[in-house]
Structure 1
Amino acid sequence: MHLHCYVWTGMGEDLRNEAERRMPPPPEDPAPFLASPLPPMRTCDWLLKPARRIDATFTKVDDALDWLAERYKSAEPSFLAPHAEAAIGLDFRLHLARTSLEGGVDVQWGFWLTGGRFLTCGVVCCPNRQADHRCPAA
């Protein structure tokens, strides 16, 4: 197993555009989903996006956790509700992420930022236990 890491920052209101965030069932056209910069509704569906959307790939859980921690720390000054996030904290988030990834379960973090922006960071297990998607880097 390896781990693909994805990140998106944009206006939170854009997340309402479910048509671009949900892979349509056949025979509908998947082009809007595939071309959209928006994060998918299901974390595993990041694997359907073009390989250029991959921010990093790791074979070790520790490396993926470091990636998550870096994204968290760089966004922390812009958290919309830093006091609420402090109640959860990075250490607890990393503990849960480790448990999930070591069990082959994807991890998705999302944070509201100042100015109506939203940040999402996802680590997706490949191969994936939720969907039979091929590896985008293959």
Structure 2
Amino acid sequence: MVFHCYLWHGDTVTVQGPKRDALCGDLNMATPPVMTRDWLKKPQSMLQRNTSTPEGAVSWLEEVFDQHAPKMAHSQATGISRPDRFGSALADLQSGTDLSWGFPLAGSKYLALAVIVVR
């Protein structure tokens, strides 16, 4: 299996506003897709890492989460314990399940993370 790690950081209105389907549904635009598997069809610039292990993908998730956690609402950053958040992610990836996480950030920004499993 290969684990493709994707990241998008931008304005909240892009992913939650009235033009979401048009902005995110266009597979040529560097915006989070409407359907999780469509991350694979988005511009390659959104691909942050490929790894051959679920542990490598979780390591990437932890790095990116930790980098952006100070900009998250306290409840978003700490509402789920670290072992539960990343332990669940590891279990999902080990079973071949794709991940798609989204977090509102300070300043009307948004962080979208995804790990897509390809067999």
2:9 counterpart letter in structure 1: T
Hey, what does 2:37 align to over in structure 1?
Answer: 44
The answer to whether 1:121 aligns with 2:103 is: no
Which is worse superposed, 33-42 or 62-71? 33-42
Moved over 2 A (4+): 50-53
2:4 counterpart letter in structure 1: H
1:12 counterpart letter in structure 2: T
Hey, what does 2:95 align to over in structure 1?
Answer: 103
SS of the residue corresponding to residue 36 of structure 1 reads coil
TM-score by length of 2: 0.90
CA RMSD of aligned residues (A): 1.4
Cα deviation digits, residues 48-96 of structure 1 (max 9, x gap): 12333211000011110000000110001111x2135312133211111
- Equivalent residue runs for 1:46-85 within 5 Å: 46-79=39-72, 81-85=73-77
Alpha carbons 1:12, 1:118 under 8 Å: kept? yes
CA separation of 1:84 and 1:120: change in aligned 2, threshold 3 A: closer
Please list every run of 5 or more consecutive structure 1 residues that lacks an aligned counterpart in the other structure: 23-32, 128-138
Cα distance between partner residues in 2 of 1:10 and 1:51:
17
Alpha carbons 2:5, 2:113 under 8 Å: kept? yes
TM-score by length of 1: 0.78
Hey, what does 2:82 align to over in structure 1?
Answer: 90
Alpha carbons 1:69, 1:90 under 8 Å: kept? no
Please list every run of 5 or more consecutive structure 2 residues that lacks an aligned counterpart in the other structure: none
Q: How many residues end up aligned between the 2 structures?
A: 116
Hey, what does 1:6 align to over in structure 2?
Answer: 6
Cα distance between partner residues in 2 of 1:43 and 1:5:
12
SS of the residue corresponding to residue 61 of structure 2 reads helix
Larger radius of gyration: 1
